[in-house]
Structure 1
């Protein structure tokens, strides 16, 4: 239910939840759909997915950050080599240029052009409308994830005469304008504004957390 891309599918599953236990449905409504439902989120997931990939790599390299720079780079090389080897082994069992699901859409159902950028993709008896120019699909996965869905990939694979616009071909990719600070990154993640800050400092007089003996208010300084 939380992973549904279309609101029609979400409403159908929510109605089934209400029949099983109305209290659960009321609790989820009070919590707010925009906080946990994918199709009701106020922002797309592209930025979040990119950030999660970065945080995943950072999490795998936490222990290696204490090493010297050469040792750290060697750990990064070994990590990516293992991932590439595993992915290459999985890809070796695929005989087609696309993954099995994408290939089935092309061979069994087919793709039909409905306009200059509009295409109809048929999958399991259902029709999906893909707009390549706007980057949308009627399954809603394309615009929410901001990553090409299976139907968009089938359309791109089916397009034989791919014409790259001049402004795209002439676009120059430049490096970032901002430089990274000359320090090692912190191991701990940055806390959000909604998260409470906990202090590990304890007072030497009263033993309570959040202050030190110089700013202690329970035992004022003697005059």
Structure 2
């Protein structure tokens, strides 16, 4: 105000003016909560298969009061069936008048893009809120041992998963773990080694790095053992977290919603719906990638592995089986029939490693056929096949321009 209009006002007056402007543009927060049930009902009617739930509590002095909200659009539920069973869950603070927390569940599509599955709005990241959110997810993501959750190791998430998804695997975000290590033990190199050990595909590679951690700081090694190796080390995980070693997928989604997290609840939900509608339309459009079998991101990974495979020595063992020696003359056993390699990268990522590519070239097999269907353009299009429709403008005209 001082720079643009040469008027001095207090910080408090500037803040209140901003709040009034937001209320004028988006409506009041209190009114937004009142309109939410009707909005969600109409959203479900416009988008068949959508799960929308509001949980209230009774307050003797007020009546029924909002507690939790959950939303999973029908197109997202259908699309998740074309994803790998790795769900990244996270919470982010809301900055509106009534505060609260936005809980998200996301996956990663075959082009390594964020695929939002569901959102929840709760009073905070606590045991009850996370348990309620996961119970809502349980309606379409079953409790099976091939399901993997990745989180920032919030204690309430651990408790909720143990109750609601006891058969699923729970893995830690490596970035959060590294930050904790560097904070507690005041050693950046330890953080680097933890990341290296966590990403190792082979047990031998893991223990080489872990022993180095143990030699530098035995207390750090003990701390990591107490967490449970299966929670943070890929080589020890009994499930498959593929390339997903961090919760960056969820944090990217939270970043997209950063400004919207200060909107009244109704406009926040509508912003999410509108954003997903645009993403689905853009991502199902394959005309931008004509005649491409694999997704762009995975194509680049395969091309990079192809370059690395040059100069490897390949000897056939049996039909489809090969002994492949890299440039350091380290030997790897590749089986093209089972799509596996003794480096463990091939069967973990479901993308042929350089050793597998060298073997495929020797056998004159198609390299692309070794890539999992998760990473094909057909699967990507199928994941975004569903339409996300707006509610009709007659419902609430103030929402239409969001």
- Structure 1 length as normaliser, TM-score? 0.52
**Counterpart residue number, 1:15:** 211
How many aligned positions are there? 157
**Counterpart residue number, 1:40:** 236
The answer on whether the counterparts of 1:132 and 1:152 sit within 8 Å (CA) in structure 2 is yes
The answer on whether the counterparts of 1:137 and 1:143 sit within 8 Å (CA) in structure 2 is yes
The answer on whether the counterparts of 1:39 and 1:144 sit within 8 Å (CA) in structure 2 is no
1:142 aligns with 2:338: no
After superposition, give the CA deviation of every residue in 1:154-201 in whole Å (9 maximum; x if it has no partner). 222333266x9xxxxxxxx9998xx969656xxxxxxxxxxxxxxxxx
The answer on whether the counterparts of 1:34 and 1:40 sit within 8 Å (CA) in structure 2 is yes
State the distance in 2 between where 1:13 and 1:182 align. Answer: 47
Decide which structure has greater strand share: 2
**Counterpart residue number, 2:316:** 113
Matches within 5 A, 1:188-203: none
Equivalent residue for 2:363, pick from 144, 152, 159: 159
Matches within 5 A, 1:52-91: 66=271, 73=278, 77=282
Q: What SS does the corresponding residue of 2:324 show, helix, strand or coil? A: strand
Q: Which runs of 5+ in 1 are unaligned?
A: 92-96, 165-172, 185-223
Describe the shift of the 1:103–1:20 C-alpha distance in structure 2 as closer, same or farther (beyond 3 A). Answer: same
Instruction: Tell me how far 1:128 sits from its aligned partner.
Output: 0.7
Q: What SS does the corresponding residue of 2:334 show, helix, strand or coil? A: strand
- Structure 2 length as normaliser, TM-score? 0.31
Instruction: Tell me how far 1:135 sits from its aligned partner.
Output: 1.6
The answer on whether the counterparts of 1:44 and 1:143 sit within 8 Å (CA) in structure 2 is no
Equivalent residue for 1:127, pick from 331, 344, 361: 331
**Counterpart residue number, 2:199:** 3
**Counterpart residue number, 2:225:** 29
RMSD: 4.7
The answer on whether the counterparts of 2:200 and 2:233 sit within 8 Å (CA) in structure 1 is yes
State the distance in 2 between where 1:121 and 1:23 align. Answer: 39
Decide which structure has greater helix share: 2
State the distance in 1 between where 2:278 and 2:345 align. Answer: 36
**Counterpart residue number, 1:204:** none
State the distance in 2 between where 1:32 and 1:18 align. Answer: 15
Larger CA deviation: 134-143 vs 28-37: 134-143
Q: Which has the higher contact order (CA 8 A, sep 6+)?
A: 2
State the distance in 2 between where 1:104 and 1:146 align. Answer: 17
**Counterpart residue number, 1:103:** 307
The answer on whether the counterparts of 2:332 and 2:341 sit within 8 Å (CA) in structure 1 is yes
State the distance in 1 between where 2:348 and 2:240 align. Answer: 5
